[in-house]
Chains A and B, each alone.
Chain A
């Protein structure tokens, strides 16, 4: 079979006549391609590219849709933003919230996936189904469930812990309460991805480590964790992009309060835009968020492809 490839007569028979391979494209492929590509390009231009340009322009204007103001102010909105203590509080809150939620998702996701993956575990499908359930339920609705759970009078959290804490109205606990709810909602996604990663690992590598006498912690630390790096990167990057934009849980649970204790950047943008109708200022904040997201994404991929790559393998 290998030699027939090089025989000229056979090759001539196998290879279609010049140009025929692409001829079917002439009747049908091109119009369909044209329609699809044009529609996609038009939608991206209208719903993404133009809005980004409009947001950038808007951020340089005093822009209020209620009284029709649209007046050039240069960088005034940005200067105001960087001088605004609420912006800085919201930025710090966003970073803390993001870090906590991502750590929760990675740690719980990996630990539970590792536990489900273990040959000693029974009822794997049941656990997988239950642990992923919060992830697929509507965020607005489960945020309400948690608001009721945190209720100081009758909420389940206080009844179970035997505490008397007003979780959402105490500035010491409010952000943590929002984070706990978010971790509960989202860790299932980590479980599913790490499980997929674990099942994709080559079995012989794990066996070799076991035969070499590596204990389960050493096996995890030296073999599994490094080999799951791509999964971790995916979880971290998608979570970063998601949590930088987190909004609904704050809207439902705390309205950014008490004070600004749980205000996140996206919540600040929403407030400035659709409560105060200061579109210019909100656009400036949105643009800063955009640049932050882009920078973090680029840095994550640099880290993956940079000097740290392959460490421990």
Chain B
């Protein structure tokens, strides 16, 4: 009897917390289909009385939200591909090769994760500006091309690649790159997908660096577009709801499909840490 009561309390409590957690998403989504009058009404309802696409149409007219969406998508995919490849390669070399200074260098890589962005931001900004990289996508791609976290995560996952297979392949005369592409990479598919998902999200949500480096509005990313939109059309709440929804929905879809890998990726960084 006591067990039943505590079970009911526990499950109801968890349901309540989960409902509170996703409420802001529901509210945003439903408000993005409301008319301006309904958004500003004193009497608030969760669902719109009249569903309308006006907010989505108006943000596309006022500011080319699809263009920014495509920019974000392109940058996220390209950077994710590069960073995951270099991380896997780095993880392989640091995880499977024995060489002098390996431990020290790996500690330095770990230490760079603790450097606040604010410290390196100003010198990087002056460096990239001086190199004439402002307003080019190279300025966004270069600093993200090698990821300390990625190398760290991939080195952790190298335990799942048995040394014996590598030795056997070497004795058979396979080249290192062949071993890396045909043996190490396929065996690391779980770590690769976890890192890919996180890396995609980080590029997708990165705000300050693109804001500083990209000056042409049509080259901008969606995260920065949100803030400029909000600045220029500060009373167009419907537009803001619609633009926010557009910048969240793709990530939510990716997350719901791959949620197991997201969770595994987050946990694997910590558990073996």
A binds B: yes
Q: Are B145 and A140 in contact (CB under 8 A)?
A: no
Identify the B interface with A (CB < 8 A): 3, 6-7, 10-11, 13-15, 17-18, 21-25, 27-28, 31, 39-41, 44, 86, 89-90, 93, 97, 99, 105, 108-109, 112-124, 126-127, 129, 143, 145-146, 151, 167, 170-171, 175-177, 180, 201, 204-205, 207-208, 212, 223, 226-227, 230, 237, 240-241, 244, 247-248, 251-252, 255-256, 259, 262-263, 266-267, 270-271, 273
**B28 nearest CB across to chain A (Å):** 5
Determine which of B10, B176, B223 lies in contact with A120 in the assembled complex, contact meaning CB atoms within 8 Å: B10
A14 neighbours in B (Cβ, 8 Å): none
CA distance A202 to B25 in the complex (A): 37
A140 to B251, CA, bound (A): 13
Answer whether A115 and B21 are a contact pair too, CB < 8 Å, given A24-B171, A138-B248, A266-B118: no
The answer to whether A120 touches B11, judged by C-beta atoms less than 8 angstroms apart, is yes
- What are the residues of chain A within 8 A of B99 when measuring CB–CB? 33, 37
Of the candidate stretches A76-84, A192-200, A207-215, the one touching chain B is A192-200
Summarize A's interface: helix, strand, loop or mixed: helix
Q: How far is the CA of A195 from the CA of B207 in the complex (A)?
A: 31
Given A139-B205, A270-B208: A131 and B17 interface contact (C-beta under 8 Å): yes
Q: How big is chain A's contact interface, by range?
A: 35 or more
A55, A138, A140: the one contacting B119 at CB < 8 Å is A55
User: Does B123 lie within 8 Å of A54, measured CB to CB?
Assistant: yes
In the bound complex, what is the Cα–Cα distance between A286 and B273 (angstroms)? Answer: 28
Residues of chain A having any CB pair with chain B under 8 Å: 24, 27-29, 31-33, 36-37, 39-41, 43-44, 46-48, 50-52, 54-55, 58, 65, 112, 115-116, 118, 120-123, 126-134, 136-142, 144-146, 148-149, 151, 153-154, 156, 159, 184, 188-189, 192-193, 195-197, 200, 231, 234, 241, 244-245, 247-248, 251-252, 265-266, 269-270, 273-274, 279, 282-283, 285-287, 289-290, 293-294, 297
